[in-house]
Amino acid sequence: MSQDTFAIKSDPALWEKLDMDVERFSNIPPMLTGAYQGVFLEQKNRPRAMSYFDGMIENIFSGRIQEMAGAKEEGRPVVGTFCVYVPEEIVQAVNGVCVGLCGGSPGSIPDAEKVLPRNICPMVKSAFGFKVGRICPYFQVVDFVYGETTCDAKKKTWELLNEYVPTHVMEIPQMKRERDKRLWVDEVKDFKTEIEKISSKKVTYENLQDAIRLLNDKRRAMQRLNDLRHHTPSPISGKDMLLIQQIAFYDAPQRFTEKVHALCDELEERIAQGDAVAPASTPRIMVSGTPMALPNWKLHNIIETSGAVVVNEESCIGTRYYKDTIDENAQTVDEQLERLTERYMQIDCSCFTPNEERIGQVLKEYKASGAQGLIDYCLQFCHTYNIEAVKLRQMCEKEGIPFLAIESDYSQEDIGQLQTRVEAFIEQIQG
C-alpha cells in the first residue's frame, strides 16, 4: 500500500450510534494515519501480503466496528477482554465475538488520571481512559467486558470500570499447584455458565469443538509465521510482525488465519529467492516482557530505525498468545474444558509464582529465533515483570546473552534516552 493512498477511515454516523465523543474522536484517524505512514509505510521491501493488514488498520474505526455492530444486531455477544487467560474459545462456541481492549495509546491517559492514581501501569490507564472519555469504538461496541485478577492494577480497576460498562471478573490463580488448577477449572466452568446466560445459547460439545479447532488453527498459523520470520536474513520486519500480532486481537479469526497463511506462502517464496527486509549482517534482537497493545510501536520503531531487526516477541502480544494449542481429542464437554484449562495454564505470565518455566521459554525462543541480544521491555509500574527481569538477566549472564532491561511508558519524553541505550546495545552486539 502506498503512503499517499493510505488513510484511516472515519464513520461519524456509526460513532454517534455508539455514543462516542464524536467531536473529539474525529481527530484520531488523521493523527493515527500520520503515525502509521511514518512507522510502517516508509519501510522498504515489505511483503505484498501486508496490504491486508494495512487495510485492517484503515478500517480499524469503521469496517471492523461495523462488523461487530452487525454481530450484535444478530444477537451475538461481543465481549471485551484484557488478558490472554480469558478463554476466547468459549465465547466463540456461542458464535460470539471476542476483542482485546488493552490500551496502547497515551491519548486516553489524561482521561484515566481524572479518576485513577497516576502511578499505575499505562496499559491499564490507557484502556480505562478510553472508556471514561468515550473515545474507543471497541469499548463502545462491546456488550460487556471480562477482566481477571492477574495484577493489582487490573483487578482493582475492574471495580471502577464496572461503573461505566458491565465488568465481570475471573479469578486467575497465582500458583500452578494441583489445587490451583482445580480452582482454575471451576473458574472456566463459571465463565462458560456466564457466557451461556448472557448469550442465551448453550455451549455444546460440537460448538466448543469447532471453536477449539478454529482458534487452534489461528494459533498454528501464527506459529508458522513466527517460525518463518526467524530465518536469517529476516523476510519480514519486527514492526510488521508486531502489527500482525496486535491485529490478532480484533480481527475475525477465520479470515485472519487465511491471511496469515497467505503471508506465510509469500515469505516462503521470499526466503527461497533470498529476498529479505535487511541484510543477513543486520543485528538481530529478541524482545521479551510486557505486552505492546495497539498503537504502541515505540520500542520496535526505535530498534529498527537504529539499524537492527526484531526477530521475536516473548509477550502476550507475541508468542505467549499462540505458542500452545488445545488437545482436540476430548470426548465430552467436561473433558474439553479440562484440556482447555491445561492449555491456558501453560501461559507463563509473571503474575504467577514461581514462574521458572518462563525463563526456560525465553531461552528456547531466543535460540530458535537466531537472536544476538535480548531486550526485556517492562511497562512502568508493572512490578511482576520488572522483578522477573532480574531472573532473565541472571539467565542471560549464565548463557552469555547480551541483555538490556528497559522500563518505559507511552510518552515521547524518554525516546531520546531509549534511542541512545538501544544504539549502545546494538554496538555491543556488533562487537
The site for ligand BJ8 (CB under 6 A) is made up of 83-85, 121, 123-124, 150-151, 153-154, 290-291, 316, 347, 349, 351, 379, 382, 385
Which one, 211 or 349, has the nearer CB to ligand BJ8?
Answer: 349
Q: Which is nearer to ligand BJ8, 107 or 318 (CB)?
A: 318
* Shortest separation between residue 352's beta carbon and ligand BJ8, angstroms: 9
Contact status, residue 144 vs residue 86, Cβ threshold 8 Å: no
Beta-bridge mates of residue 379: 408
8-state DSSP, 207: H
- Min. distance of Cβ 348 from ligand BJ8 in angstroms? 9
Q: What is the DSSP letter of 372?
A: S
Q: How far is the CB of 105 from ligand BJ8 (least distance, A)?
A: 14
List of residues 6+ apart from 331 with CB closer than 8 A: none
How far, in Å, CA of 316 to CA of 82, rounded?
A: 10
Largest CA distance in the chain: 62
* Minimum distance from residue 103 beta carbon to ligand BJ8 (Å): 10
Within 8 A by CB and 6+ apart from 255, the residues are none
For residues 421 and 300, give the distance between their C-alpha atoms in angstroms, rounded to a whole number. Answer: 14
Complex with ligand BJ8: residue 121 or 243, whichever CB lies closer = 121
Of the pair 276, 349, the CB lying nearest ligand BJ8 is at 349
Q: How far is Cα 133 from Cα 330, in angstroms, rounded to an integer?
A: 44
Q: In what order do the strands lie in the sheet with 144-148?
A: 97-100, 78-81, 144-148, 167-170
Compute the least distance from the CB of residue 317 to ligand BJ8, in Å.
8
The length of the chain in residues reads 431
Q: Which residue has the cell 508468542?
A: 319
Residue whose CB is less far from ligand BJ8, 277 or 351: 351
Shortest Å, Cβ 274 to ligand BJ8:
36
The smaller minimum CB distance to ligand BJ8, of residues 221 and 378, is found at 378
Is the CB of 240 or the CB of 407 nearer to ligand BJ8? 407
Closer by beta carbon to ligand BJ8, 233 or else 291: 291
Give me the least distance between CB of 170 and ligand BJ8, in Å please: 11
DSSP 218-244: HHHHHHHHHHHHTSSS-SS-HHHHHHH
Q: Residue 143 and residue 166: Cα distance in Å, rounded?
A: 8
Q: Give least dist CB 318 to ligand BJ8, A.
A: 10
What whole-number distance in Å separates Cα of residue 203 and Cα of residue 300? 40
Contacts of 264 (CB under 8 A, 6+ apart): 221, 224, 225, 228
